[in-house]
A = this chain, B = another copy of it.
């Protein structure tokens, strides 16, 4: 209850941005980080996350590195060079979307 929904299309950008900041992360870590950063408002489901990671990898935007910690598997993802470039584009797009929405929704707000 009470958790604002995830707008479709934003997940990939969230993933890319987190990886840009954190260097490398594994799937479960991403779900927890998003929960933490948004105070529980956004919850990334596994059914959305893992296919998204696989697709980003297939597109050449992410590299994987498998590790075993405490006898449990972890797949660390990090941006490729193409991924870094694409992250810049996607973020610009998202910021543009946010600005557009603010113009529509609440022109009184300003971003600084």
Contact = CB atoms under 8 A, between A and B. Distances in A.
A100 B8 contact: no
A100 B42 contact: yes
Given A7-B8, A98-B98, A100-B38, A17 B93 contact: no
Interface residues of A, number: 34
B41 A104 contact: no
Nearest to A100: B38
A102 B111 CA distance: 10
Nearest to A92: B4
Contacts of A6: 97
Given A7-B7, A7-B10, A106 B100 contact: no
